[in-house]
Amino acid sequence: MSTDFIDLEAFVYRSLLCTLIGLASMGANAIEYQLPSDGSKLVGAVEYYQVPENEKESIADIANHFDVGFLAVMEANKGVDPFLPEPGTMLTIPTQLILPDVEHEGIVINLAELRLYYFPPDKDSVYVFPIGIGRIGRETPVMTTSISQKIVGPTWTPTANIRKEYREERGIELPAVIPAGPDNPLGEYAMRLAHSRGEYLIHGTNKDFGIGMRVSSGCIRMNPWDIEWLFPQIPKGTKVRVINQPLKETREPDGSLYVEVHQPLSKSESEAGHAKVVKPSNALVNAVERDNQAISRLSQALQSQDGVPVVID
């Protein structure tokens, strides 16, 4: 399947979920990055992975192995078959990143990059996790809030709209309450956000797909092994900021200028399948306006939207 340009959200809706059901999760440890002490916002390093011969590994398998998001790997490797990448292909693993332009405290969720950042209060480090977020029509909202409740073995009480959706679109009659256990889509751990009526959770999953994608009804979904690690680290009252920054930038201590550009989230079904423009800030435009090579590199980054930091100046 060619993905030289692909709206990755639309791709998910077409066929991916059916294929990923039943994949075995490989598991990984939380990715910890040391926070630079010199004012830098660039952390980590890009990794590379060569698809082995005689093994049937999907991009989802590889993403799980490195504990990065499925769509993040697809963004960084456009044109690669997501189901059976060709043996010998050298994949870029997006394990270098620019920290979001927000206070580095508590939990920060950047919807555009489908990542959750946890900044522990007593360490000069940040932990980064892939997440699933709300699909088109069930978007996860931008918010500043806090953790209001922590639940081990959560029950799921689907809303009337969700039950109607399951009934009409999937032919499934959901019960009013699904108890804790292997059939519960919230997984083994959940943390409730104080925003609105408390309907949004950060939770695990009982599925082997959906992390690093837009597939939820608005909640933030994590790999089971990730939320198992994160849950005991987070006290009730921890600050949570949900932002939407498809373009991140940093002027590094050595003077170099980096950008990291992600595909913007579609706001409607009509937008899905079409390229979306990322507009640079005036400050970024002014920083490169007298350098034709920097302008060209910035233009290429804004167009390719591969989610990997690139130096433009």
Q: Which sequence positions are flagged as catalytic?
A: 203, 219
Number of residues that this document lists for the chain:
313
SS3 154: coil
| Inter-residue contact 96 to 68 (CB < 8 Å) | no
Chain centroid to Cα 72, Å, comes to 7
Q: How far apart are CA 102 and CA 105, in angstroms?
A: 9
Residue 310: CB partners within 8 Å, gap ≥ 6?
Answer: 258, 259, 260, 297, 301
Under DSSP, is residue 224 helix (H, G, I), strand (E, B) or coil? helix
Facing residues of 48 across strands?
92
Count of C-beta atoms within a 10 Å radius of residue 240: 24
Phi, psi of 230 (to 5 degrees): -70, -40
